[in-house]
Amino acid sequence: GYRSLRKIEGIIREEMDAAGAQEIHMSALQPAELWQESGRWYAYGPEMWRLKDRNERDFCLGPTHEEIFTDIVRDEVSSYRQLPLNLYQIQTKYRDEKRPRFGLMRSREFIMKDAYSFDRNWEGLDKSYQDMYGAYEKVFTRCGLVFRAVEADTGAIGGSASHEFTALSDVGESEIAYCDHCDMAATTERAACVDDAPDTESELPMEKVVTPGTKTIEEVAGFLKVDQKKTIKALLFKVYGEAEDQFEYVAAFIRGDRELNMTKLVNALGIPEHAIEFANENEMGEATGAVGGFTGPTGLHDCKIVVDSELIGQKNLVAGACEVDHHIKNVNYDRDYKGDIVTDLKLLKVGDKCPLCGAPVKMARGIAVGQVFKLGTKYSKSMGAYYKDENMESQLIIMGCYGIGVTRTLAAIVEQHHDDNGIIWPMSVAPYHAIVTIVSSGDEVQTALAEAIYQELQKAGVEAVLDDRNERPGVKFKDADILGIPVRITVGKKAAEGLVEYKLRKEASFTEISGHEAAAQAIAYIASELNK
Ligand code: ATP
Ligand code: MG
């Protein structure tokens, strides 16, 4: 695994260097002061590993390095002549993930390649971003991955635009929405939704109705015999401020048949993801009038109201009455309630209208292996990173940042390249290109022929491994399959006639040829795969 990891790192280095980036290496241990300057000592939340030194000063183990790189550049760069600049490192990151899982996929210590670009202006950033985007396409293609670059949310990193590189896989945690009729492709977190056309019916007077025990949308729609599209769903939250005892209640309203997109809600509120949790209904009820299962927008007080934009045009809906076992019919926006924030809060679902062209969208799952961000001035402004232009005037540096999950990429390659017997490495990242297996290690003829083939491969620059262990043949074959080495040359009984078995890991069949022919075929095949 480590050999494959080093090969992935090698591919990344080649493509980053070719794109004009320079490699440096920074400390994983970072002082709190830099994060306080950017505001992320608070905003990053519980995912950050925090620690103190012997003098009680705060530090963290870096989850990412925007602050550190901005700090170097504000000290080292003073003139426009030093820009553009792109610095990267391949380094260990630490994140106290809520749900670490699937081995290397989501771990609390992992290797990331992180790059940071520094430009004079937004056009410069556009170019740096495009260059990195192109380099990422090359990296993931060379790693043998089938992937898609899709629009993404900027999350805890921030900035104005972002793309995620997603290796397609049914076991992936990322869900992407895409359209076959146009270029739309985005993570579902990010994907915009189209509001349904406004209703044309006229507004009817509100009417309170008894709806015993109907706490869910399904129950109330069934009880009142209305379409779920004619109901309003309430979701109740408690949002914490930066000071520990500071908080407010938030109610989000969407149409009954829709689902809430938490990322959109968090972005609308302008808060970090860790600052929000589902409200305790009793506690919230006392403060705001909300009633578990029967909360609607008309009866609330002391609570921030966030309304999905689609509700504006929908008429005569059923909503909770903020009274146990009661709902209100014919609730209409503006006349009966207003939102403090009105925005798209919906989760895009398969078959929904594409936000660009209106065709039904499709969904796929994948593993997020990399992400690129246009940061703009988020860090240069908060941390004071300026350069002097031709007129000796101070200007903010325009930044971008670009991450690849190196260890996660390793795992993603295995997810895409395996069968029931184990891994099938693409040649570019295989730990060894070829394995020479001796069937009976005690047999002198077999050993001599295997050694000769092994030497021939080595001489040609093939990374070969010789399995001369004193194990049963079945064990050796099984291990070779699990390890996934692309070419296997098996030296057995027919060694006496000079014959060996030549087999590719990805194919079931083998051919019987001379030892020399096998070596020559392996050398040619490996070279052609590596030059692909
Ligand atoms: P995710 O949404 O999967 O948590 P992220 O948006 O937090 O990812 P970034 O901050 O953009 O990730 O980090 C860059 C890359 O590092 C990601 O695209 C991913 O490949 C990798 N990565 C992030 N977190 C982990 C982790 N816990 N374990 C392994 N790799 C990770
Ligand atoms: Mg994350």
Give the C-alpha separation, 524 to 163, whole Å.
38
Ligand that lies nearest to the alpha carbon of residue 164, given by its number in the listed order: 1
Residue 371 Cβ contacting ligand 1 at under 6 Å: yes
Residue 369 Cβ contacting ligand 1 at under 6 Å: yes
Q: Identify the residue whose C-alpha is closest to ligand 1 atom 13.
A: 403
Measured distance between the N- and C-terminal CA atoms of the chain, rounded to whole angstroms = 23
Cα dist from 282 to 49, 289, 306, whole Å: 34, 10, 20
Ligand 1 pocket mutation, candidates 47, 93, 402, 410, criterion most atoms within 8 A of CB:
93
pLDDT of residue 307: 98
Angle among Cα 413, 419, 420 to the nearest 5 degrees reads: 135
HSE, side-chain direction, 13 A CA sphere, residue 132: 33
What is the H or E stretch that residue 109 is in? Answer: strand 109-119
CB atoms within 10 A of CB 430: 26
pLDDT of residue 299: 87
C-alpha 490, offset from chain centre: 41
The pTM (predicted TM-score) of the whole model is: 0.95
Cα of 181 vs centre of ligand 2, distance in Å, is 31
Ligand that lies nearest to the alpha carbon of residue 189, given by its number in the listed order: 1
Cα of 305 vs centre of ligand 2, distance in Å, is 28
Closest CA to 153 of 177, 170, 120: 177
Q: Using the Cα atoms of residue 80, residue 83, residue 87 and residue 93 in order, give the sign of their dihedral.
A: positive
Ligand that lies nearest to the alpha carbon of residue 165, given by its number in the listed order: 1
Residue 403 Cβ contacting ligand 1 at under 6 Å: yes
CB of 161 closer than 8 Å to CB of 375: no
Give the C-alpha separation, 148 to 145, whole Å.
10
pLDDT of residue 156: 79
Cα of 420 vs centre of ligand 1, distance in Å, is 28
Give the C-alpha separation, 228 to 456, whole Å.
71
Give the C-alpha separation, 499 to 513, whole Å.
5
Phi and psi, residue 458, nearest 5°: -55, -45
Residue 407 Cβ contacting ligand 1 at under 6 Å: yes
Residue 112 Cβ contacting ligand 1 at under 6 Å: yes
Helix axes 122-142, 2-18, angle to 10 degrees: 140
Query: In a 3-state reduction of DSSP, which class is residue 129?
Result: helix
Give the C-alpha separation, 251 to 238, whole Å.
9
Residue 162 Cβ contacting ligand 1 at under 6 Å: no
Cα of 43 vs centre of ligand 2, distance in Å, is 14
Closest CA to 57 of 38, 36, 85, 83: 36
CB of 188 closer than 8 Å to CB of 376: no
Edge-to-edge strand list for the sheet holding 58-61: 29-31, 58-61, 49-52
Residue 97 Cβ contacting ligand 1 at under 6 Å: yes
Query: In a 3-state reduction of DSSP, which class is residue 77?
Result: coil
Which distant-in-sequence residues (6+ apart) come within 8 Å of 107 by Cβ? Answer: 97, 100, 407
Q: Greatest CA span in the chain, whole angstroms?
A: 97
Cα of 65 vs centre of ligand 1, distance in Å, is 13
Which distant-in-sequence residues (6+ apart) come within 8 Å of 485 by Cβ? Answer: 425, 430, 431, 432, 433, 434, 435, 465, 505
What is the H or E stretch that residue 434 is in? Answer: strand 434-438
pLDDT tens across the length of the chain (532 residues): 999 999 999 999 999 999 999 999 999 999 999 999 999 999 999 999 999 999 999 999 999 999 999 999 999 999 999 999 999 999 999 999 999 999 999 999 999 999 999 999 999 999 999 999 999 999 999 999 999 999 999 987 888 899 999 999 999 999 999 999 999 999 999 999 999 999 999 999 999 999 999 999 999 999 999 999 999 999 999 999 998 889 999 999 999 999 999 999 999 999 999 999 999 989 999 999 999 999 999 989 999 999 999 999 999 999 999 999 999 999 999 999 999 999 999 999 999 999 999 999 999 999 999 999 999 999 999 999 999 999 999 999 999 999 999 999 999 999 999 999 999 999 999 999 999 999 999 999 999 999 999 999 999 999 999 999 999 999 999 999 999 999 999 999 999 999 999 999 999 999 999 999 999 999 999 999 999 8
Q: List the beta bridge partners of residue 50.
A: 60
Angle among Cα 5, 7, 12 to the nearest 5 degrees reads: 95
Ligand 1 pocket mutation, candidates 49, 64, 106, criterion most atoms within 8 A of CB:
106
CB of 187 closer than 8 Å to CB of 175: yes
Burial class (CB in 10 A: 0-12, 13-18, 19+), 133: middle
Residue 405 Cβ contacting ligand 1 at under 6 Å: yes
3-class DSSP string for 505-530 = CCCCCEEEEEHHHHHHHHHHHHHHHH
Residue with tokens 């992937």: 147
Cis check: omega of the bond before 205, within 30 degrees of 0:
no
Cα of 346 vs centre of ligand 1, distance in Å, is 24
Residue 107 Cβ contacting ligand 1 at under 6 Å: yes
